[in-house]
Amino acid sequence: MTSAAPEDLPYELPEELLIDGAVARRLIVEFIASHMRQTGFERAVLALSGGLDSALVAYLTAEAIGADKLLCVMLPYKTSSPASRGDAEEIVRRLGCASKLIDITAMVDGYLDTGVGAAEVSRLRRGNLAARMRMAVAYDQSVAWNGLVMGTSNKTETLLGYTTIFGDNAAALLPIGDLYKSQVRQLAAEVGVPHQVLAKPPTADLWAGQTDEEEVGLTYAEIDRLLFWMVDGRLNREQLLAKGFDRAKLDLVEGLVARSEYKRQMPPIAKISPRTPGVDYLYPRRRPVPAPGG
């Protein structure tokens, strides 16, 4: 049973991607609360950009553990959108959670000024550096706050590889990692994320004026529908073409998914011993932690 798309959504939601918002909300909130208990943390830290994904994770985390246990860290770079900062501040105000504003411009530019050829650094390279700096700061703040770092990557970004390794894809939990971008928008509308956040074009804010859809070359509605039938529907290439998907768009998406597989896996380990961490020495996250001195 799926719920209808909220009437005030500023985009078209593919019918096959409609979800039962109430069920998804309950499952994710329970997921967050359960894993917080398993890891022994009561608090959480979130890098809040003012974008849709981080906004939704902030709302769901606050619901799961209480807004008083959530720290939202705003980490603008000099090219970041002032409007996004305003949206982040509005989210903090509505939730009533703790927040910090830490400008990362000096950190990023300090590295670029060390003789690495800042004039030759591409926008993508600078954007990835900023993403990694944001996560470095978020993890540092997690120590002071004694909180678990919440991730904000969604299923579309993960499948396309539209993430920065050790940047936005670095986190302890990924609450919306199994929601396509279209589904993130639907759930965000249902939990009450501000309309201005729902309405603005999705962007990683890697550089001024950057938008996700322009960079990829497809709308999220197109990408999500194709990924849904490719991944969840398990249709092969011939079946996808027979279903009416454009060959060039299919080539693009298939290529992005294939080339980014390494981003979705832990680094391979050369097996030498009888039991190798991550290979055949595996324990669930809920494994009891011995008491100090025990």
DSSP-derived secondary structure for 166-196: TTTT--SB-TTTTS-HHHHHHHHHHHT--HH
- Domain 16-264 in CATH 3.40.50.620? The answer is yes
């019918």: which residue's tokens? 15
What integer pLDDT is reported at residue 294 of this predicted model? 43
Range 118-132 average pLDDT: 85
The string of pLDDT tens digits covering residues 245-287 is: 999 999 999 999 999 999 998 888 999 999 998 888 877 666 5
Range 128-156 average pLDDT: 97
Give percent of the chain with pLDDT exceeding 70.
Answer: 87
Range 211-240 average pLDDT: 89
Which residues lie closer than 8 Å to 255 by C-beta, 6 or more apart? none
User: Containing H/E element for 94?
Assistant: helix 82-95
The string of pLDDT tens digits covering residues 89-111 is: 999 999 999 999 999 999 999 99
Which residues lie closer than 8 Å to 214 by C-beta, 6 or more apart? none
What integer pLDDT is reported at residue 1 of this predicted model? 41
Range 219-233 average pLDDT: 94
> Mean pLDDT in the chain?
89
